[in-house]
Each structure stands twice: as C-alpha cells, then as structure tokens.
Amino acid sequence: MILNEKPKVCIALTLEDDLKAQISAVCDVRVADVRAPQTELVEAIYDVEGILGTPRIRADSKFFDAAPKLRVLSTCSVGFDPIDVPEATRRGVVVCHTPGVLNAAVANLTLSMIFALALKLFENESYARSGGWARREKPPGLGRDIQGKTLGVIGFGRIGQEVTRRVQALGMRTLWSDVFDHPPEGAPESESRPLDALLAESDFVSLHTNLGPSSHHMIGAAELNRMKPGAFLINTARGPLVDQKALSRALETGQIAGAALDVLESEPPDPEDSIVRLPNVICFPHIGSATEETRRAMRELAVQNLLDVLAGKLPPAPVNPEVLA
Ligand code: DGY
C-alpha cells in the first residue's frame, strides 16, 4: 500500500504557474483542455478527488457517475447554476464557488451599461468613427440624464447592493425586489417593491439574481409589458433569467427603449440570433468579471476552496457546507 498518496485532481481552468504549483505541492495534478468538449473531461475524472473548473462544466448525475471518488468540485465563478447541487450533496461532494471578489467588477460593468444606454455612447462613438460627424450627417438623438431616474434592482444580494450604492452616488433613486422581504444586514437604504411594482416604476431594471428553477424566465412577455415604454433592461447575471424571444419582440416593437446584455440564453449565441444586432441593444460576451485583478482573485479563491476541502478543512466559499458537517 502506498502511504501518503497525494489526492488526484483535475484542473480544467487556465491557471498561473504559481497557483498550479500551489496545487501540485499537495496534489497529483491532471490538466484538462479547457476548450475541449465535456466528453473529454468526463474521461479524465474517473479517479480524481477534486476538480477545479469553470461554469462550462455541466455537473449532472452522469457527470458525478464518471467521478466516483470526487470530494470537491470548485468552480471559478460565483454562479453555480450548471451544477446539480442536491445531487452533489447526496454524493458527499462539496461544491465551492467564488462570491464577493467579483462584486465591484460586475457592478462597474452595470454602471457602464447605464451610462452607455442613457448617453447613447456607442451610437455617438460610431457616428464619429464612421465619418458621420465629419460629413455633417444627422447625429444620433440626445441622451438622457441619469440623476433623478429610478433603478430597479432585481436580486438584492452582494452585487445588487454594490450597484445600488454606486447609482445612489450618481443621484439615482433605487428600488429592490427579492425573494426575501427584509433587506440583508449592511445593505444600503433602498425601497423594496414587489416585482410588478418595481418593473412599472423603474427607468432602468437590472438583474442580479441567481438562476434556478424558480427564476428561469422570470422576465417574460408579461413582465416586459409592465415596464415603462422608455425603460431599459440590463442583464449581467444569467441569460435564462429572461425569455429572450419575448425580449427581442419587446425591443423590435419599441415596447421598451433598449437593453444591455452581458449574458444570453445560449452562449456563445447562435450566429443567426439577431438580438446581438438590434439597434437598441448593446451586447457583451459575458465580461462581468473579466478584469485581470478580479479574475486572479477568483482563481485564488477557487484554488483555496479546492485545497481546503482536500485537506479536510472548511473552505472559504462552500455552496453546500452541510456535506462537511
Ligand atoms: C460568474 O462568476 O458566475 C460569472 O458570471 C462567470 O460565469
């Protein structure tokens, strides 16, 4: 029998050398191609106790069947919607994620979207760049002030609160709606509203909630219909929170003024999907946490989560800590 055998782990995430070395010091590491299809990853996990990955990994019961020795699945993301957490819990697998360290990055992107939509930044930039200004063509119409407008935040967790603080500093009024009635401890002062009332009162509606069975398509045709005709929808959370077909219709008919989307129902989108090309939509390729510093902090936290569980310690960010109890 081999004594003190290092636990085997599979890394399906691009990692800096120092973080890789931290893992290799205590684990037997197998590196999986992060771009490869999941079928390849599934073949590489039959004997591993830990997996470090991204939301590209769809962990359902078949995935867990392929990794019978698994003790920890550490995802380098705050969202863990592609992971069947109850199934992981049943199998004694600790799921960990990376909350907190990306709050500011996502809040800043949300603010950038508010500015871009309200001030028509992209239309004006392309008017200048394409020579429209030089040719004295008709400029894009005027933008709108941000101060005095109302932002409705759906999901008053860490990121929703961070966005609220920032827009209040810009003179915006804020509302929030969530599954809970009382504001979380430490949350900024903001008025709570049932979802329908928030949609009807807001000039900007921003989504900051988790994706799960109860929030899937929480914004559909009926909800879009409740929004003000001049309102904007912002989604930096998860694409399937919004019924994208209904949103496309609402944007095409001018039922709402516009949308800023960092996430879509299918990522990357189908090349035929026109939502990314609508004139009143600005769309980004899921860059909410995509700054050097934030991504590094996420990777550090994900590695810490992995190593702590393997060492029998409580990790900093478990999703299902009951497995360790
Ligand atoms: C997250 O951390 O959940 C980001 O959306 C990346 O998936």
Check if 288 has its Cβ closer than 6 Å to any atom of ligand 1.
yes
175 and 254, same domain (yes or no): yes
247 and 308, same domain (yes or no): no
The mean pLDDT of 59-69, rounded to a whole number, is: 98
Distance CA 15, CA 276 (A): 31
Residues 6+ apart with CB under 8 A from 312: none
Gap from CA of 132 to ligand 1 centroid (Å): 38
Check if 236 has its Cβ closer than 6 Å to any atom of ligand 1.
no
pLDDT band at 3 (very low <50, low <70, confident <90, very high): low
Name the DSSP letter for residue 273: -
Query: Quick one: pLDDT at residue 132?
Result: 98
Biggest distance spanned by C-alpha atoms of the chain: 81
230 and 266, same domain (yes or no): yes
What's the whole-number average pLDDT of the chain?
97
Q: Which ligand 1 atom sits closest to the C-alpha of 98?
A: 2
Gap from CA of 102 to ligand 1 centroid (Å): 9
pTM of the predicted model, to two decimals? 0.96
pLDDT band at 155 (very low <50, low <70, confident <90, very high): very high
**Quick one: 173 exposed, middle or buried, by C-beta within 10 A (0-12, 13-18, 19+)?**
middle
pLDDT band at 319 (very low <50, low <70, confident <90, very high): very high
Q: Which ligand 1 atom sits closest to the C-alpha of 77?
A: 2
Query: Quick one: pLDDT at residue 322?
Result: 97
45 and 175, same domain (yes or no): no
Query: Quick one: pLDDT at residue 58?
Result: 96
Gap from CA of 79 to ligand 1 centroid (Å): 5
CATH of the domain at 144: 3.40.50.720
288 occurs within a structural domain: no
Gap from CA of 265 to ligand 1 centroid (Å): 14
Measured CA to CA in angstroms, residue 305 lies from 51, 96, 116, 285 at distances of: 11, 6, 36, 27
Query: Quick one: pLDDT at residue 198?
Result: 98
188 and 297, same domain (yes or no): no
Give me the sheet containing 28-31, strands edge to edge: 28-31, 8-11, 50-53, 72-75, 94-96
116 and 42, same domain (yes or no): no
* Separation of CA 220 from chain center: 19
Distance CA 96, CA 78 (A): 9
Gap from CA of 124 to ligand 1 centroid (Å): 30
pLDDT band at 237 (very low <50, low <70, confident <90, very high): very high
2 occurs within a structural domain: no
Give tens-digit pLDDT for 92-136.
Answer: 999 999 999 999 999 999 999 999 999 999 999 999 999 999 999
* Separation of CA 102 from chain center: 10
> What is the Cβ-side half-sphere exposure of residue 169, based on CA atoms within 13 angstroms?
6
**Quick one: 171 exposed, middle or buried, by C-beta within 10 A (0-12, 13-18, 19+)?**
exposed
Check: CB of residue 157 under 8 Å from CB of residue 208. Answer: yes
Give tens-digit pLDDT for 261-315.
Answer: 999 999 999 999 999 999 999 999 999 999 999 999 999 999 999 999 999 999 9
Cα angle 285-286-287, degrees, rounded to a multiple of 5:
95
Instruction: Return the residue whose CA atom lies nearest to atom 3 of ligand 1.
Output: 79
48 and 162, same domain (yes or no): no
Query: Does the structure show a pLDDT above 80 at 1?
Result: no
137 and 278, same domain (yes or no): yes
Query: Quick one: pLDDT at residue 56?
Result: 93
Gap from CA of 41 to ligand 1 centroid (Å): 20
Check if 78 has its Cβ closer than 6 Å to any atom of ligand 1.
yes
Check if 239 has its Cβ closer than 6 Å to any atom of ligand 1.
no
Query: Does the structure show a pLDDT above 70 at 48?
Result: yes
Instruction: Return the residue whose CA atom lies nearest to atom 2 of ligand 1.
Output: 77
Check if 289 has its Cβ closer than 6 Å to any atom of ligand 1.
yes
Query: Quick one: pLDDT at residue 19?
Result: 98
Higher pLDDT, 249 or 34: 249
Which residues are part of the catalytic machinery? Answer: 238, 267, 286
pLDDT band at 212 (very low <50, low <70, confident <90, very high): very high
- The total of structural domains in the chain comes to 2
Check if 258 has its Cβ closer than 6 Å to any atom of ligand 1.
no
The proportion of the chain whose per-residue pLDDT surpasses 90, expressed as a percent, equals: 97
1 occurs within a structural domain: no
147 and 279, same domain (yes or no): yes
Cα angle 93-306-73, degrees, rounded to a multiple of 5:
35
91 and 130, same domain (yes or no): no
Domain housing 138: 103-283
Query: Quick one: pLDDT at residue 40?
Result: 93
45 and 119, same domain (yes or no): no
Query: Quick one: pLDDT at residue 2?
Result: 56
> Mutation test of ligand 1: which of 56, 74, 81, 102 has the most ligand atoms closer than 8 Å to its C-beta?
102
254 and 308, same domain (yes or no): no
Check: CB of residue 233 under 8 Å from CB of residue 209. Answer: no
